[in-house]
Amino acid sequence: MIISNENIEKLKNLIDGANIIGVVSHVNPDGDNLGSSLGFARALRNYGKDTEVVGHDAIDNYLKFLPDLEFYENNYKDSYDLLLILDASEIDRIGDAQSVAVNSKKTAVIDHHLGGKITSDLNIIHPEAPATCQLIYEIIQRIGMPLDEKTANLLFTGIVTDTGRFMYYDTNRETFEIAGKLLDAGADKENIYSALYQNKPIDVLKFETDLIANAEFMGDRVFALASIEKVDQYGVQMGDSEHIVNILRDLEGISISMLVKEYGNGEYKVSMRSKGIDISKTARENGGGGHANASGFSIFDDSLESAAAKARVILQNI
Ligand code: 5GP
Ligand code: MN
């Protein structure tokens, strides 16, 4: 248990005082993002609260097995009595839903990123938590909300993905205990593991192999580039590049991996992973954020070559 009694009490009061609640997370949702927002929304509905999920983008194929995706819709309300902002450290991370945050009567942030900068009525921010889903589990238990099978599956997925299958440094004793409780509550680990890690389309493997073959090694750093051209060539989604930066980080002698993803409209998303080196400061200095060993930021530029050149310099100077 890491959340203070005072914050649990404040959050309960905000929830109990709201008739309609919105739950939002960041754009380009990952497993912890969808797991925490869909899972908390489900628990809130089971607790008797009218709750909507404020979704933004297409969901990456590898996460399409999750329950409750039908609640992740784009036609959300302009405002809520309470908007819960999960797994996002800066307000621009929630994209177009920023106006909902402005219009909503109350807002609360529940997050585990370093250096959270969102102003709200209640900030529950614990960078020591390896996943927002771990915080949501604690909240559900301590407020006394129902934890059904689908909620358990959603939270388990977020914990597995954000801890790198219980491997990253911030995975703690409580993470394993909570995982056990989620199994008791009906999380189907076989289904989750096979959907996440044993279900890769061959075209995605070919795409990964191409990007890895073209990766540039610079001492203990490695740089890779995912262009829209390559995505189209292999008939995959940009989200399918998700694992490449992890695969490159895991190599012998590598301390930092970087992947630049071309998003179109001049935006290039930079994903970084590290072993033993804090890269979150570099991400923040470049307008992004994240965790000590997994961070990101965006570069806005006219061309892939120019964005890549800037990113290489940033990587070399960490
Ligand atoms: P990923 O590389 O998987 O996109 O992101 C790794 C981590 O860095 C995640 O925790 C993610 O939320 C964070 N992150 C990635 N891009 C950005 C960004 O542009 N701004 C902020 N604040 N965080 C980011
Ligand atoms: Mn997270």
| Residue 105 to residues 83, 101, 119, 185, 293, Cα–Cα distance (Å) | 8, 8, 13, 34, 35
Residue with tokens 């929304």: 41
Q: How far apart are CA 244 and CA 58, in angstroms?
A: 20
Ion ligand 2, residues whose Cβ is below 5 A away: 32, 87, 132, 162
3-class DSSP state of 110: strand
30-67 CB burial, b ≥16 within 10 A, e <16: bbbbbbbbbbbbbbbbbbebebbbbbbeebbebbeebb
Residue 194's contacts (CB-CB under 8 Å, 6 or more residues apart) are none
Of all protein residues, the one whose alpha carbon is nearest to atom 13 of ligand 1 is 290
Q: How far apart are CA 86 and CA 107, in angstroms?
A: 11
Question: Atom of ligand 1 at shortest distance to CA of 242?
Answer: 3
pLDDT in tens, 291-307: 999 999 999 999 999 99
pLDDT in tens, 51-87: 999 998 789 999 999 999 999 977 799 999 999 999 9
CA of 22 to the centre of ligand 2 (A): 19
pLDDT in tens, 181-204: 999 999 999 999 999 999 999 999
Strand partners, 222: 217, 257
pLDDT classification of 312: cutoffs 50, 70, 90: very high
Of all protein residues, the one whose alpha carbon is nearest to atom 11 of ligand 1 is 290
Identify which ligand lies nearest to the alpha carbon of 291: 1
CA of 6 to the centre of ligand 2 (A): 23
CA of 150 to the centre of ligand 1 (A): 26
Q: How far apart are the first and last CA of the chain?
A: 35
- Mean pLDDT, the chain, as a whole number? 96
Q: Which residues line ligand 1 (CB under 6 A)?
A: 26, 30, 89-90, 93, 113, 271, 288-291, 294-298
What is the enclosing helix (H) or strand (E) of 299? strand 294-300
The encoded tokens of residue 300 equal 């806005």
Identify which ligand lies nearest to the alpha carbon of 89: 1
Q: What is the pTM of this model?
A: 0.94
Q: How far apart are CA 190 and CA 282, in angstroms?
A: 37
pLDDT in tens, 83-108: 999 999 999 999 999 999 999 999 99
What is the enclosing helix (H) or strand (E) of 129? none
pLDDT of 134 higher than 80 = yes
Identify which ligand lies nearest to the alpha carbon of 290: 1
pLDDT classification of 247: cutoffs 50, 70, 90: very high
* Max CA distance (Å), the chain: 56
The encoded tokens of residue 290 equal 């994240």
pLDDT score at 218: 97
